[in-house]
Amino acid sequence: MFRFLILISALLCNLTAWAAQTPSEVVAKATSQLTERLNQTPVEQRTENLVRELVMSFIVPAIDQEKIAKGALGKYWRLASSTQQQEFIDRFRELQIRTYSGAFKAFSGEKLEFEEARINPEGDKAFVQGFLTQSNGNTVPIDFKLYRKDTEDQWRVYDAVVSGLSMVKTYRDQMAERLQGTHPGNAKTRMDDLLQQLQQEADRAAQANLAAE
């Protein structure tokens, strides 16, 4: 299920022509553009580098990295120093890129349909309900959460919930488990350990990618 959750959040993050669009239009257009690109690329041709380029082009520019990182760390964000917070944003971005890349490679013609967005009275948050129809005919309910900053005229996806499973909460649970699993020490030491783990994982993934070329 987490694989589908990542796929959905990835499909929703195309930044092209977001300005002056409703939340539902943002979701629908981003999805159609990305699924079209994927459908044009056979699975066997989706190399690590190709998929990574798609992720970097369509996803990374559209994500508020600090907002996602804060959500992923939860209470630990406040315990981290400003330097550690910035380092986590960078490490977490790389983790998302690798996860999204795996979701792209696994794409197999899923289709999405959306309902009209519900926007809060303040006009800065929106909720879009959608349904994912898998290739086998099964339907998965999805919720999309978007927000708009006062300084921007763009809606951005900050969470996706698939069958009740939140992307942000899933990451938060994972990060909390890893922080609690490090050796005893103060919050700064535990955060340093987590940052080191994430960097080591990124290095191993990069080496594996080079070896596969």
Domain boundaries, the chain: 2-212
Percent of the chain whose pLDDT exceeds 70: 83
3-class secondary-structure state, position 63: coil
81-121 tens-digit pLDDT: 999 999 999 999 998 888 877 777 777 777 878 899 999 99
pLDDT of amino acid 18: 46
Structure tokens at 205: 């993934």
pLDDT of amino acid 7: 60
Residue 16 has pLDDT above 50, yes or no: no
User: Mean pLDDT score of the chain, rounded to an integer?
Assistant: 81
Question: Predicted confidence band at 20 (pLDDT cuts at 50, 70, 90)?
Answer: low
Residue 198 has pLDDT above 90, yes or no: yes
DSSP class of residue 41? S
Query: Can you tell me which residue has the tokens 């099964």?
Result: 138
- CA-nearest of 107, 115, 106, 135 to 27 is 115
Alpha-carbon distance of 181 to 51, in angstroms, equals: 32
Q: Report pTM.
A: 0.78
Please, are residues 97 and 187 in contact by the beta-carbon 8 Å criterion? no
pLDDT of amino acid 9: 59
**Could you tell me if residue 95 is left (phi over 0), alpha (psi between -120 and 50 degrees) or otherwise beta?**
alpha
Residue of higher predicted confidence among 159 and 15: 159
Which stretch of 12-16, 74-78, 79-83, 116-120 has the lowest confidence by average pLDDT? 12-16
Residue 212 has pLDDT above 80, yes or no: no
Residues listed for the chain: 213
Residue 133 has pLDDT above 60, yes or no: yes
- CA-nearest of 208, 9, 170, 202 to 93 is 202
Fold adopted by 2-212: Nuclear Transport Factor 2; Chain: A, (3.10.450)
Q: Which residues contact 146 (CB under 8 A, 6 or more apart)?
A: 23, 26, 27, 117, 125, 126, 127, 128, 155, 156, 157, 158
Give the Cα-Cα-Cα angle 193, 95, 21 (nearest 5 degrees): 135
**How big is the chain by its Cα radius of gyration, in Å?**
18
- Over residues 135-156, the mean pLDDT reads 82
- Over residues 122-137, the mean pLDDT reads 88
Residue 24 has pLDDT above 80, yes or no: yes
Question: Predicted confidence band at 170 (pLDDT cuts at 50, 70, 90)?
Answer: very high
pLDDT of amino acid 70: 92
- Over residues 67-79, the mean pLDDT reads 91
